[in-house]
Amino acid sequence: EFFHTFNALYTFNKQVVLASDRPPRDLQTLEARLRSRFEGGLVIDIQTPELETRAAILYQWAKENNLTLPASTCEMIAAKARANVRELEGIFNQIVATIRLSGAKVTPMLTDDILDGYRRPRHRVTLKHVLETVANHHGLSTDDLIGPKRNGPINQARQIAMYLAREYTTASLPQIGDAFGGRRHSTVLHSCSKVEEEIRTSDAYAGIVNYLRDKLVKLK
C-alpha cells in the first residue's frame, strides 16, 4: 500500500519528504523497490542541532506543556544534551516529571540539581537489561513483555520498556521491535509517544519511569 501511494505521488511529480535514523540502503525492512526509489532522491544527513536550536526546541516543548522555562534555563539544558534530540527530550521529560511530583518552581538551582542527576549509565545498557529491569519491577517475566498478551499491566510495562530501550540503548526502532516479539517499528514509536504523554500528565506514572531510569543508570 505504501509503495503504491509513494508511486502515485512520484508519478505526479509530488514532493515526498521522509525521515529515518539510517540511509535508505540500510532500511532492510522495506522492499527493495522502495529502497531503490528512496536512493534515487536527495539524501541529506541531518546533524545534531546547534545550541540555539536545541534551546528553541525546549522553549517550544515547555510552551506546549504550559511550563515556564526562562531562556537561561533552556540554554543550561541544551548545553547538557549535546548528543541528539532524543537525549534533550529525555532531560526535558525528567524536569517535567520532577516539577510535577515536587510542585517546585523552575529555578536555576533546581535545574542544575536535575542535570547533575542526569547521568549516563556506568555500563552500556542493552535491550536485555531493559527487559529484565522493567519485568522485575512489575512482577512479570521477560516472556510476558515480548509475548502476545495485551492486558493492562503487561501492556503498560511493555510500553515503558520500549521507551527506556529507545532512551538508553543504541538500538533502532526496528531492532527494538524485533526484541519485543517482532513488533513493528511503528508500534514502538506509538508506545514511546504514549509513555511521554503519561509522564507529562500522571505524577505516579512519572515516578515509576524515573525509578526505572535510576535502576538502569546504576547497573553494574
Rounded Cα gap, residues 89 and 85, in angstroms: 6
Q: Tell the residue number behind the cell numbers 549516563, with chain if given.
A: 120
**Per-residue pLDDT, 74:** 85
Please report, rounded to a whole number, the percentage of residues in the chain having pLDDT higher than 70.
95
List the grid coordinates of 185: 517499528
Domain residue spans in the chain?
2-39, 51-117, 127-217
**Per-residue pLDDT, 145:** 95
Residue range 176-203: mean pLDDT, rounded: 88
To the nearest 10 degrees (0 to 180), the angle between helices 85-102 and 51-64 is 40
Under the banding of pLDDT at 50, 70 and 90, the label for residue 3 is confident
Residue range 169-180: mean pLDDT, rounded: 89
Q: How far apart are the first and last CA of the chain?
A: 46
Checking if the pLDDT of 175 tops 80, the result is: yes
Checking if the pLDDT of 120 tops 80, the result is: no
Rounded Cα gap, residues 59 and 69, in angstroms: 7
Question: How many beta carbons lie within 10 A of that of residue 106, not counting itself?
Answer: 18
The tally of CA atoms less than 13 A away on the side-chain side of residue 61 is: 23
**Per-residue pLDDT, 143:** 95
Under the banding of pLDDT at 50, 70 and 90, the label for residue 83 is low
Q: For the chain, what is the mean pLDDT?
A: 84
Express each pLDDT in 35-44 by its tens digit: 888 888 888 8
**Per-residue pLDDT, 155:** 94
Checking if the pLDDT of 123 tops 80, the result is: no
Express each pLDDT in 28-71 by its tens digit: 777 888 888 888 888 887 777 888 888 899 999 999 888 888 88
Are the C-beta atoms of 139 and 105 separated by less than 8 Å? no
Q: Does the 51-117 domain belong in CATH 1.10.8.60? A: yes
Rounded Cα gap, residues 7 and 213, in angstroms: 43
Residue range 128-156: mean pLDDT, rounded: 93
Please report, rounded to a whole number, the percentage of residues in the chain having pLDDT higher than 90.
23
Among 1.10.1370.30, 1.10.1750.10, 1.10.3720.10, 1.20.120.640, what is the CATH number of 127-217? 1.10.1750.10
Checking if the pLDDT of 220 tops 70, the result is: no
